[in-house]
């Protein structure tokens, strides 16, 4: 058995080597934050790349996945390495906004398209000669913040307190949320920061309590976002709680437990894929990812972050066949054609929504890409 | 800020300060005995808490494998040394101690389902899994360079910290964990509730500090450690082995770290990399104590906790800026007070 | 710094740098760019930590100052990148000097922690100050332009970065091999000796601290324009620790160690990134674990860093500083023989409740040997420290050449012409005898750091070294001139201390047990030397236990017991004094 498998693999390698002489492989360079502060986002992304099909349009695809340790210098170094050493046709990454922003110059210079998996709209806006090469798959913070503010106005929330990470994530959310809330006449009564690894947020929580807000929004990602909420509960806060889509994984529910009952958050539809109406085209695409991921990593292991990686691959799967018509992988023409094809993406249904890109919009999501979710009975529940 | 808020902040600062104080004591102890600035101290906090959480979640904590791997490594090292020295009779004991015991522990964990055990037994298991890592790390990483300069030992500490953080991520993942509280009791302070667990942290820390004091004052090992701390060469001449003292101090440091982790994991979320910042703040306390005085170190740590708590209320975005900028004048004051003419 | 070997090495290095971009693949050039950037910072740490003995975790924050200054000025105010370099350096210098004034007062472990404290503070300030782009960062930093050429690609940057590094390397090497350089190297031996030789140690510390900060800032400026994006993470404490890590792994006491350390760590990380997934599979993140373990291993094998290990494999020509015939240094005007040089009046020194010196009174004249004797613990060395300003008196006065000096710092007393040796030898064991002695001549030179860095100090340097050589010869140590001071037997080391004191051209020499550890013939030679010095008109105050030596040499003797003056007079009178005999033989019935 073993020997057979080995011979089989050898044959496959030989066949692949032979194939190279005919068609060059497509090389996808990935840099993501699998270690460091953003590891909880980067790891499911990394896991997702292992689930991706290894061929697109009959062409072999190599995913070269590098870790940037949540550090901008390393992210840029990785990008340069992927472009110079691995001659990649497209860069996917990085996980977080600062890293992605830092990579823009490099990919624009090398004329290599890039698909970021980070949240901030600054990565693709304002459109300019450099961002011409840059795309992204996660919903913009602004889009998610709008969903929260809408929900707040519909539920009579007049005043809100914000507490977010003292990093790019918390800052990005604050910028978007405060802007939109102001327009919708919601008064922001407190703006606090905490560190991911802080052991106590009592000071911030007491200040928020003193401001007596109708609702509190926590701008954090993963399990650390549970700490302010638990502290608020412990100190007797009774108002509404909002979280961001950054918390959408099972670990958050595990750590926050009953303190998070009733919490509201905007999220990509993939989080509640099973609860979507069958008429929603995203349901099928999202379930495909969820099933694949959970088959490999266990029930309940799926998070929305991995789906951003999956969606990047979806974009590629639709763009590569077009690009192949214009040039061979590994060439400048192919990269340019790939970029053009990415920009021309229409009606591609992915785990997080339906992509319709344009020259001005390198994300291309509409309202379908976000839903409001409530935590009920320790589970995500779609708010209709 | 009214009185109630001030009190709550003070209580919060003292709770964190108590943990920092424990770590500060451990750091002072390790430094005094071995001249090692033990940056990985914080990792024991994280490993302790996360190992306990894994046990409670019914998972086999990765620390078991680390314990086994280090045990085998030390077994091989000591074993080959014994063989070279012709002391074959020592071999069985070496193997039993370094490989047998971890294997037994791993076997036990696989055989029984730890999630169903009562909390104290789980805590004991977590201690048995993580505390031995302390002396083992001393044996493997520090003992070969025990005589090197403080700077080199510090850099070894950085390397150990890097490796342990990586292992932490591998064992426990990037997301954090909490453990159930030891007590559900809570007290009403005005409108707010004060959890029994936070009081427990302070009480237990004080208890530990007193226990350490008794250990140093009353037991032969405690006295040996104190002697080594005062005068390494002298202690060696009196028959106190530097290696033994090193191992002992690392065991104590690991024990303190793990207990701290287990104490705070019910009131906060612990991540694989939480240890560094907690340890750093303990380190600040330790330095304020001049890496020599236990009571001053504990007071310094409490000061850090309080500074942190109040500044997170006043200007949370600038919390670290405030805490660490205010530390500088304290350091200056301490430095000027402890100035002494270099030995003639 | 062995000169001959360094020069060859430098030539090889420059040639390698020139051809590297032509031979290496693109990514390796990029990697070398980053290595260069790191090495510039690590080089600052070599001076600060390796040579000066001051450990800093905060260098990353200085890199950040350089990077953010340029990023802010170019993006917000449209200033040319070439102007932002001096601006960034200025900002860094101001911050470094103010931080240095506070933190360098910290002794021992307070200093590294102080650097951690402001390292963290600055990091969070970068993330929170308005206009700096917050935690997310500042984009759109313009590339550097040279005439019409944009310095954009890795190759173009390579030459710029390594040219800067090379300049910094040369300047550092020159600086360390100079008068001020010796003063910096003396810091490691503790400030007491350096101050007694006239070195303003606090100033030297500030200078090297600022120098290291400026190197870091320059690296930051380059970084900002290479990356064309800045955010706070590359300037965090973690990165600060990493810089120190590089310097120590490379060899923190050697300028080349900076490059070796930066290179080794950067390349190792790349290799681990390439090879580990192939060996262990994609699933885990093993890089940092393996990296940490490897580093522990390296440190255990090479605790002084990798560079000394490499250097051992090169054939080493004998290391000797070039000694050129040079006109002698100016000498100070000396008082006429018999004039009172030193007058100690009612000198008291208390340590808590202990009175170490109690109302001591005596004089030393030019051209005489005055011996201070007494049983162990009588307070003789304390008296020396009080006179020389090392550990000032509690009360009483010291008048040296007509000036009250009891509250002057040691270096100012040294400037007036008092020079001393120490009971416990304070030499820098790794430095040659010649360089050790040259430290004594510190106050006889003028040239500063900048002159040293650009080698504009060579005339003076020749004269200083020649003077040192002359004093060594005079003390009979010509044979050992180029040997490391630490390799000499203890008795000879005491003689080196005397040569060092003489290099200062003193009028008054304070010798603390100079004959201890000497053999009979050596003692005789020492006696002869001291007699000659006396005849030249130098006053000598001597503490010594060897009674034969003292009685054969001293013109006058003061006996101390329990911190008090027990007796004073001519040697022969002292020998007959019953109180003295009792003090020395007391307790033996």
What's the pLDDT tens digit per position in A264-296?
999 999 999 999 999 999 999 999 999 999 999
pLDDT tens for each residue of A104-117: 999 999 999 999 99
What is the C-alpha to C-alpha distance for residues A191 and A193, in angstroms, rounded to an integer?
Answer: 7
pLDDT of amino acid C49 = 92
Residues 6+ apart with CB under 8 A from C500: C197, C421, C427, C436, C437, C439, C440, C471
Q: Which of B85-94, C288-297, C394-403 has the lowest mean pLDDT?
A: B85-94
The answer to whether the bond into C309 is cis (omega within 30° of 0) is no
pLDDT of amino acid A331 = 92
Structure-token match 């600040």, residue found:
B284
Q: Is the separation of the CB atoms in A269 and A147 below 8 Å? A: no
Q: How many other β-carbons are positioned within 10 Å of the β-carbon of residue A299?
A: 8
pLDDT of amino acid B222 = 85
pLDDT of amino acid C342 = 94
Residue C323 has pLDDT above 80, yes or no: no
B162 contacts C292? CB cut-off 8 A: yes
Q: Where does the pLDDT of residue A4 fall: very low under 50, low under 70, confident under 90, or very high at 90 and above?
A: low
* Shortest alpha-carbon distance between residue B196 and chain C (Å): 33
Residue B85 has pLDDT above 70, yes or no: yes
Residue B47 lies in a domain: yes
Please classify residue B213 by burial: count the beta carbons closer than 10 Å to its beta carbon, then call 0-12 exposed, 13-18 middle and 19+ buried. Answer: middle
Q: Where does the pLDDT of residue A18 fall: very low under 50, low under 70, confident under 90, or very high at 90 and above?
A: very low
Residue B143 lies in a domain: yes
Q: Where does the pLDDT of residue C1 fall: very low under 50, low under 70, confident under 90, or very high at 90 and above?
A: very low
Helix (H) or strand (E) holding C365: strand C354-365
Apex B46 CA angle, B197 and B48, nearest 5: 70
Average pLDDT value for chain B: 87
Q: What residue in A sits closest to B11 (Cα-Cα)?
A: A202
Q: Where are the domains positioned within chain A?
A: 2-139+294-369, 141-267
Q: Which of A305-309, C378-382, C395-399 has the lowest mean pLDDT?
A: C378-382
Beta-bridge mates of residue A215: A160, A240
A95: closest CA among A221, A204, A208, A210?
A221
Q: Where does the pLDDT of residue B232 fall: very low under 50, low under 70, confident under 90, or very high at 90 and above?
A: confident
Q: Is the separation of the CB atoms in C232 and C220 below 8 Å? A: no
Q: Which two tokens stand for residue C89?
A: 């350096």
pLDDT of amino acid B339 = 53
φ, ψ of residue B38 in degrees (nearest 5): -90, 75
In chain A, residues with a C-beta closer than 8 Å to the C-beta of B313 are 203-204, 206-207
A200 contacts B274? CB cut-off 8 A: no
pLDDT of amino acid A230 = 92
- Domain spanning A141-267: CATH 3.40.50.2300: yes
In chain B, residues with a C-beta closer than 8 Å to the C-beta of C295 are 155, 159, 162
B191, B273, B317 member nearest A197 (Cβ)? B273
Residue B298 lies in a domain: yes
Residue B177 touches chain A, beta carbons under 8 Å: yes
Beta-bridge mates of residue B201: none
SS3 C216: helix
Q: How many other β-carbons are positioned within 10 Å of the β-carbon of residue C20?
A: 16
In chain C, residues with a C-beta closer than 8 Å to the C-beta of A118 are none
Residue C433 has pLDDT above 90, yes or no: yes
Residue B311 lies in a domain: yes
Residue B260 touches chain A, beta carbons under 8 Å: no
B284 contacts C289? CB cut-off 8 A: no
pLDDT tens for each residue of B139-188: 999 999 988 888 889 899 999 999 999 999 999 988 999 998 888 787 77
B15 contacts A200? CB cut-off 8 A: yes
pLDDT tens for each residue of C355-366: 889 999 999 999
For residues C479-491, average pLDDT: 90
Residue A69 touches chain C, beta carbons under 8 Å: yes
Contacting partners of chain A (3+ CB pairs under 8 A)? B, C
B161 contacts C292? CB cut-off 8 A: yes
φ, ψ of residue C19 in degrees (nearest 5): -90, -20
Residue B277 lies in a domain: yes
Buried b (16+ CB within 10 A) or exposed e, A320-349: bebbbeebebbeeebbbbbbebbbebeebb
C49 contacts B335? CB cut-off 8 A: no
Q: Which two tokens stand for residue B283?
A: 């380190």
Q: What residue in B sits closest to C124 (Cα-Cα)?
A: B321
Q: Could you write out the three-class secondary structure of chain B?
A: CCHHHHHHHHHHHHHHHHHHHHHHHHHHHHHHHHCCCCCCHHHHHHHHHHHHHHHHCCCCCCHHHHHHHHHHHHHHHHHHHHHHCCCHHHHHHHHHHHHHHHHHHHHHHHHCCHHHCCHHHHHHHHHHHHCCHHHHHHHHHHHHHCCCCHHHHHHHHHHHHHHHHHHHHHHHCCCCECCCCCCCCEEEECCEEEEHHHHHHHHHHHHHHHHHHHHHHHCHHHHHHHHHHHCHHHHHHCCCCHHHHHHHHHHHHHHHHHHHHHHHCCCCCECCCHHHHHHHHHHHHHHHCCCCCHHHHHHHHHHHHHHHHHHHHHCHHHHHHHHHHHHHHHHHHHHHHCCCCCCC
Topology (CATH) of A2-139+294-369: Rossmann fold (3.40.50)
pLDDT tens for each residue of A47-98: 999 999 999 988 899 999 999 999 999 999 999 999 998 999 999 989 999 9
* Shortest alpha-carbon distance between residue C203 and chain B (Å): 18
C186: closest CA among C446, C485, C419?
C485
pLDDT of amino acid A57 = 86
Q: Could you tell me how many CB contacts below 8 A there are between chain A and chain C? A: 89
CA distances from C145 to C80, C226, C372 (A): 9, 12, 70
Q: Where does the pLDDT of residue A147 fall: very low under 50, low under 70, confident under 90, or very high at 90 and above?
A: very high
Q: Where does the pLDDT of residue C277 fall: very low under 50, low under 70, confident under 90, or very high at 90 and above?
A: confident
Residue B121 has pLDDT above 50, yes or no: yes
What is the C-alpha to C-alpha distance for residues B47 and C289, in angstroms, rounded to an integer?
Answer: 15
Helix (H) or strand (E) holding A160: strand A159-165
C288 contacts A167? CB cut-off 8 A: no
**How far is C-alpha A379 from the geometric centre of its chain's CA atoms?**
21
B159 contacts C292? CB cut-off 8 A: yes
Apex A222 CA angle, A218 and A227, nearest 5: 55
φ, ψ of residue A383 in degrees (nearest 5): -90, 120
Residue A85 touches chain C, beta carbons under 8 Å: yes
pLDDT of amino acid C19 = 87
Domains and CATH numbers, chain C: 3-270 (1.10.3470), 339-417+506-589 (3.40.50.300), 429-504 (no CATH)
What is the C-alpha to C-alpha distance for residues A42 and A37, in angstroms, rounded to an integer?
Answer: 10
Range of A19-33, A205-219, B181-195 with top mean pLDDT: A205-219
Residue A22 has pLDDT above 80, yes or no: no
Q: Please tell me the total count of domains within chain B.
A: 1
What is the C-alpha to C-alpha distance for residues C339 and C539, in angstroms, rounded to an integer?
Answer: 10
Residue B98 lies in a domain: no
* Shortest alpha-carbon distance between residue A98 and chain C (Å): 5
A204 contacts B174? CB cut-off 8 A: no
In chain C, residues with a C-beta closer than 8 Å to the C-beta of A70 are 233
Helix (H) or strand (E) holding C307: helix C306-311
CA distances from A202 to B202, B267, B316, C260, C475 (A): 16, 11, 11, 47, 71
What is the C-alpha to C-alpha distance for residues C153 and C155, in angstroms, rounded to an integer?
Answer: 5
Residue B148 touches chain C, beta carbons under 8 Å: yes
Residue B193 has pLDDT above 80, yes or no: no
Residue B271 has pLDDT above 60, yes or no: yes
Q: What is the pTM of this model?
A: 0.90
Average pLDDT value for chain C: 89
B166 contacts C287? CB cut-off 8 A: yes
Q: Which two tokens stand for residue B152?
A: 């080199």
Q: Is it true that A2-139+294-369 and A141-267 share their CATH fold?
A: yes
Pairing status of strand C149-151 against strand C144-146: antiparallel
A35, A101, A166 member nearest C137 (Cβ)? A101
pLDDT of amino acid C589 = 40
Residue A307 has pLDDT above 50, yes or no: yes
For residue B193, the domain's CATH number is 1.10.3470
SS3 C129: coil
First to last CA, chain C: 59
Q: Where does the pLDDT of residue C319 fall: very low under 50, low under 70, confident under 90, or very high at 90 and above?
A: low
Residues 6+ apart with CB under 8 A from C47: C172, C175, C176, C184, C208, C211, C212
Q: Where does the pLDDT of residue B343 fall: very low under 50, low under 70, confident under 90, or very high at 90 and above?
A: very low
What is the C-alpha to C-alpha distance for residues B22 and B297, in angstroms, rounded to an integer?
Answer: 9
Q: Which two tokens stand for residue C578?
A: 């019953």
pLDDT of amino acid B89 = 86
Q: Which residue has the higher pLDDT, A348 or B237?
A: A348
pLDDT of amino acid C242 = 92
Q: Where does the pLDDT of residue C130 fall: very low under 50, low under 70, confident under 90, or very high at 90 and above?
A: confident
Cα four-point dihedral sign C309, C314, C320, C325: negative
Q: Which of B203-217, B219-233, C179-193 has the lowest mean pLDDT?
A: B219-233
For residues C470-486, average pLDDT: 91
DSSP character string of C310-337 = HHTTS------------PPPP----PPT
Residues 6+ apart with CB under 8 A from A18: none
B166 contacts A197? CB cut-off 8 A: no
Residues 6+ apart with CB under 8 A from C303: B145, B148, B149, B152
Residue C275 has pLDDT above 80, yes or no: yes
Structure-token match 């590569």, residue found:
A320
Residue C109 has pLDDT above 90, yes or no: no
CA distances from C500 to C406, C459, C534, C549 (A): 23, 20, 17, 22
A204 contacts B313? CB cut-off 8 A: yes
Residue C422 has pLDDT above 60, yes or no: yes
Percent of chain A whose pLDDT exceeds 90:
77
pLDDT of amino acid B45 = 95
Q: Which two tokens stand for residue A280?
A: 């929603």
What is the C-alpha to C-alpha distance for residues A123 and A131, in angstroms, rounded to an integer?
Answer: 7
Percent of chain C whose pLDDT exceeds 90:
54
* Shortest alpha-carbon distance between residue C141 and chain A (Å): 10
Q: What residue in C sits closest to A110 (Cα-Cα)?
A: C153
- What does DSSP assign to residue A130? T
Residue A218 has pLDDT above 50, yes or no: yes
pLDDT of amino acid A1 = 43
Residue A98 touches chain C, beta carbons under 8 Å: yes
Q: How many other β-carbons are positioned within 10 Å of the β-carbon of residue C313?
A: 7
Contacting partners of chain B (3+ CB pairs under 8 A)? A, C
C106 contacts B155? CB cut-off 8 A: no
In chain C, residues with a C-beta closer than 8 Å to the C-beta of A122 are 136, 139
In chain B, residues with a C-beta closer than 8 Å to the C-beta of C124 are 318, 320-321
What is the C-alpha to C-alpha distance for residues A316 and A337, in angstroms, rounded to an integer?
Answer: 12
Q: Which two tokens stand for residue C376?
A: 């162990």
**Whole-angstrom Cα Rg for chain B:** 21
pLDDT of amino acid A20 = 44
* Shortest alpha-carbon distance between residue A29 and chain B (Å): 23
What is the C-alpha to C-alpha distance for residues C225 and C81, in angstroms, rounded to an integer?
Answer: 8
CA distances from C218 to B233, C79, C225, C238, C420 (A): 45, 17, 11, 20, 41
Apex C46 CA angle, C42 and C256, nearest 5: 80
DSSP character string of C395-451 = EEEEEETTEE-TTS-HHHHHHTTEEE--SS----TTSBHHHHHHHHTGGG----HHH
Helix (H) or strand (E) holding C230: strand C229-230
Residue B88 lies in a domain: no
**Domain of residue B124, residue span:** 3-58+113-337
């Amino acid at each position: 058995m073993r020997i057979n498998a080995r011979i089989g693999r050898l044959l496959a390698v030989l066949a692949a080597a032979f194939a190279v002489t005919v068609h060059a492989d497509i090389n996808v360079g990935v840099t993501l934050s699998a270690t460091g502060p953003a590891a909880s986002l980067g790891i499911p992304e990394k896991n997702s790349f292992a689930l991706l099909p290894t061929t697109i349009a009959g062409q072999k695809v190599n995913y070269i996945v590098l870790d940037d340790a949540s550090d901008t210098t390393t992210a840029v170094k990785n990008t340069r390495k992927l472009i110079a050493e691995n001659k990649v046709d497209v860069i996917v990454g990085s996980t977080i906004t600062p890293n992605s922003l830092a990579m823009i110059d490099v990919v624009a210079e090398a004329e290599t398209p890039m698909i970021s998996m980070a949240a901030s709209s600054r990565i693709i806006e304002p459109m300019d000669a450099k961002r011409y090469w840059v795309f992204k798959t996660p919903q913009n913070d602004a889009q998610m913040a709008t969903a929260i503010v809408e929900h707040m106005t519909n539920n009579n929330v007049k005043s809100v307190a914000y507490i977010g990470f003292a990093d790019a994530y918390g800052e990005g959310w604050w910028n978007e949320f405060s802007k939109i809330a102001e327009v919708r006449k919601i008064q922001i009564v407190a703006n606090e920061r905490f560190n991911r690894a802080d052991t106590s947020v009592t000071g911030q929580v007491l200040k928020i309590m003193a401001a007596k807000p109708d609702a509190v929004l926590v701008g954090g990602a993963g399990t650390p976002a549970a700490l302010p909420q638990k502290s608020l509960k412990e100190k007797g806060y009774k108002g509404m709680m909002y979280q961001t889509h950054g918390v959408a994984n099972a670990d958050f529910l595990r750590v926050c437990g009953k303190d998070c009952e009733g919490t509201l958050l905007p999220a990509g539809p993939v989080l509640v894929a099973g609860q979507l109406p069958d008429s929603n085209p995203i349901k099928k695409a999202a379930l495909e990812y969820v099933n694949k991921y959970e088959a490999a990593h266990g029930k309940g292991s799926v998070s929305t972050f991995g789906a951003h990686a999956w969606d990047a691959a979806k974009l590629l799967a639709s763009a590569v066949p077009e690009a192949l018509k214009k040039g061979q992988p590994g060439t400048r023409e192919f990269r340019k054609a790939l970029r053009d094809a990415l920009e021309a993406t229409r009606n591609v249904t992915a785990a997080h929504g339906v992509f319709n890109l344009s020259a001005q919009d390198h994300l291309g999501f509409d309202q379908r890409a976000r839903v409001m979710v409530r935590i009920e009975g320790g589970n995500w529940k779609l708010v209709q | 800020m009214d009185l109630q808020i001030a009190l709550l902040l003070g209580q919060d600062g003292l709770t964190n300060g108590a943990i920092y104080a424990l770590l500060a004591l451990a750091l002072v102890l390790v430094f005094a005995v071995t001249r090692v600035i033990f940056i990985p101290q914080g990792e024991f906090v994280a490993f302790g808490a996360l190992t306990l959480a894994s046990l409670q979640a019914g998972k086999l904590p990765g620390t078991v494998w680390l314990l086994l791997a280090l045990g085998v490594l030390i077994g091989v090292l000591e074993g080959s040394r014994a063989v070279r020295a012709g002391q074959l009779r020592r071999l069985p004991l070496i193997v039993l101690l370094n490989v047998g015991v971890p294997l037994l522990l791993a076997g036990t964990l696989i055989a029984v389902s730890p999630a169903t055990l009562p909390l104290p037994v789980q805590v004991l298991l977590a201690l048995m899994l993580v505390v031995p890592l302390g002396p083992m790390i001393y044996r493997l990483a520090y003992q070969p360079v025990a005589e090197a300069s403080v700077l080199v030992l510090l850099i070894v500490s950085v390397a150990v910290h890097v490796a342990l953080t990586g292992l932490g991520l591998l064992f426990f993942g990037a997301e954090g964990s909490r453990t159930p509280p030891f007590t559900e009791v809570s007290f009403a302070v005005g409108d707010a509730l004060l959890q029994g667990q936070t009081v427990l942290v302070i009480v237990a820390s004080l208890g530990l500090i007193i226990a350490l004091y008794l250990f140093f004052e009353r037991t032969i090992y405690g006295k040996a450690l104190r002697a080594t701390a005062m005068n390494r060469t002298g202690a060696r001449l009196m028959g106190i082995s530097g290696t033994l003292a090193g191992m002992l101090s690392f065991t104590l440091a690991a024990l303190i770290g793990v207990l701290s982790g287990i104490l705070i994991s019910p009131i906060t979320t612990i991540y694989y990399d939480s240890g560094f910042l907690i340890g750093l703040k303990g380190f600040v306390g330790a330095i304020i104590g001049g890496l020599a005085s236990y009571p001053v170190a504990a007071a310094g740590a409490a000061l850090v906790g309080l500074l942190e708590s109040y500044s997170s209320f006043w200007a949370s975005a600038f919390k670290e800026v405030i805490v660490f900028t205010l530390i500088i004048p304290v350091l200056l004051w301490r430095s000027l007070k402890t100035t002494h003419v270099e030995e003639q | 710094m062995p000169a001959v070997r360094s020069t060859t090495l430098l030539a090889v290095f420059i040639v390698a740098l020139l051809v590297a971009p032509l031979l290496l693949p693109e990514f390796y050039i990029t990697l070398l760019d980053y290595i260069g950037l790191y090495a510039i910072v690590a080089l600052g740490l070599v001076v600060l930590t390796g040579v000066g003995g001051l450990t800093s975790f905060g260098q990353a924050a200085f890199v950040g100052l350089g990077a953010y200054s340029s990023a802010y000025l170019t993006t917000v105010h449209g200033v040319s990148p070439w102007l932002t370099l001096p601006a960034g350096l200025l900002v860094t210098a101001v911050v470094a000097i103010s931080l240095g004034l506070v933190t360098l007062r910290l002794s021992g472990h307070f200093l590294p922690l102080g650097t951690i404290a402001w390292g963290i503070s600055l990091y969070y300030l970068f993330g929170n100050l308005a206009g700096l782009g917050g935690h997310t960062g500042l984009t759109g930093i313009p590339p550097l332009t040279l005439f019409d050429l944009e310095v954009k690609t890795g190759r173009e940057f390579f030459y710029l970065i390594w040219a800067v590094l090379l300049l910094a390397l040369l300047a550092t090497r020159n600086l360390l091999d100079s008068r001020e350089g010796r003063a910096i190297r003396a810091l490691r031996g503790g400030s007491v000796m350096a101050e007694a030789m006239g070195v303003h140690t606090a100033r030297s510390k500030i200078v090297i601290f600022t120098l290291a900060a400026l190197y870091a800032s320059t690296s930051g400026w380059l970084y900002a324009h290479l990356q064309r994006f800045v955010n706070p993470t590359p300037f965090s404490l973690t990165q600060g620790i990493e810089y120190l890590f590089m310097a120590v792994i490379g060899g923190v006491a050697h300028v080349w160690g900076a490059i070796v350390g930066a290179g080794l760590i950067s390349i190792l990380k790349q290799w681990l990134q390439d090879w580990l997934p192939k060996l262990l599979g994609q699933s885990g993140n093993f890089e940092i674990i393996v990296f940490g373990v490897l580093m522990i291993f390296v440190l255990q094998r090479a605790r002084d860093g990798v560079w000394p290990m490499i250097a051992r494999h090169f054939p080493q020509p004998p290391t000797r500083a070039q000694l050129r015939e040079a006109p002698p240094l100016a000498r100070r005007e000396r008082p006429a023989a018999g004039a009172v040089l030193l007058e100690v009046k009612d000198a008291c020194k208390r340590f808590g409740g202990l009175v170490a010196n109690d109302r001591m009174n005596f004089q030393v004249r030019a051209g005489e040997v005055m011996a201070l004797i007494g049983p162990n613990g009588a307070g003789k060395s304390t008296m020396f420290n009080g006179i020389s300003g090392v550990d000032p008196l509690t009360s009483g006065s010291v008048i040296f050449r007509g000036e009250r000096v009891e509250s002057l710092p040691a270096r100012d007393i040294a400037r007036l012409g008092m020079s001393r040796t120490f009971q416990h030898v304070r030499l820098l064991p790794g430095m040659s005898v010649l360089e050790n002695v040259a430290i004594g001549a510190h106050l006889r030179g003028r040239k500063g750091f900048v002159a040293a860095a650009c080698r504009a100090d060579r005339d003076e340097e020749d004269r200083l070294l020649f003077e040192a050589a002359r004093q060594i010869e005079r003390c009979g140590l010509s044979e050992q001139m180029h040997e490391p001071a630490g390799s000499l037997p203890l008795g000879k080391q005491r003689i080196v201390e005397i040569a060092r004191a003489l290099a200062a051209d003193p009028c008054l020499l304070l010798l603390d047990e100079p004959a201890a550890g000497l053999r009979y013939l050596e003692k005789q030679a020492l006696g002869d030397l001291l007699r000659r010095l006396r005849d030249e008109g130098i006053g000598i105050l001597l503490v010594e236990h060897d009674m034969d030596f003292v009685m054969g040499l001293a013109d006058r003797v003061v006996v101390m017991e329990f911190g008090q003056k027990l007796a004073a007079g001519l040697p022969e009178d002292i020998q007959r004094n019953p109180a003295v005999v009792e003090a020395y033989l007391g307790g033996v019935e």
